[in-house]
Amino acid sequence: MARSKGISELGEVMQLAFVPRDFGAAVAHWTQVMGVGPFFLMEGIHLESMKYKGAPTDAVFDLALAYWGDIQIELIRPRDDHPSIYTGEYADVGEGLHHVCILVDDMDEAYRVCADRGAEVVIEGALGGSRVIYVDPGKGPGSLVEILQQGEGGPGLFAMIKKAGEDWDGSEPLRKLG
């Protein structure tokens, strides 16, 4: 009997994500100590058709993205207390890793693989043509996996952010994206 596909087989980790208690201090650490940057800030994000554990939620958050080589670093700042993975049980990771992200071409397959492996979908939604789910494969805080199927603009945005970091001179460590 053939073994069913595991979550790791959906794609390689391309992002490490954190939900720091002090967003500004985290940006300073990553840019000044680690030399990663610049970070690009997107504010007031609310996923389309966003659900937390199957129920609609109005959670809003900010995020900042930069690249450390080929790995994307994401810093997240929740804007409210609506149910989400950024508040409550999944937020209790201190300053440690909150989740990793993998990119997929087929979100329906990702749902199937996660269901086969008993991974609970805790957030699902869409943003700008991209579909996203966050799954808990069973060990709680710090072990979430974001699975992203990028829309048309996603690859270009990520490429622009990565390119900005290649010859970054330390100026403008946090830049707002429209």
One-letter amino acid identity for 13?
Answer: V
Lowest-pLDDT range of 68-82, 91-105, 140-154: 140-154
Average pLDDT of every residue of the chain? 93
Q: What is the pLDDT of residue 132?
A: 97
Contact 124, 50 (CB under 8 A): yes
- Overall average pLDDT of the 145-149 stretch: 97
pTM for the structure as a whole: 0.94
Residue 146 has pLDDT above 90, yes or no: yes
DSSP structural state of residue 29: I
One-letter amino acid identity for 141?
Answer: P
Local structure of 136: helix, strand or coil: strand
Taking the C-alpha atoms of residue 130 and residue 47, their distance in angstroms, rounded to an integer, is 10
Taking the C-alpha atoms of residue 114 and residue 103, their distance in angstroms, rounded to an integer, is 14
Q: What is the pLDDT of residue 3?
A: 66
* pLDDT tens for each residue of 55-71: 999 999 999 999 999 99
- Overall average pLDDT of the 120-144 stretch: 89
Q: What is the pLDDT of residue 87?
A: 86
What does CATH list as the number for 11-167?
Answer: 3.10.180.10
* pLDDT tens for each residue of 97-114: 999 999 999 999 999 999
Q: What is the pLDDT of residue 141?
A: 61
DSSP structural state of residue 25: H
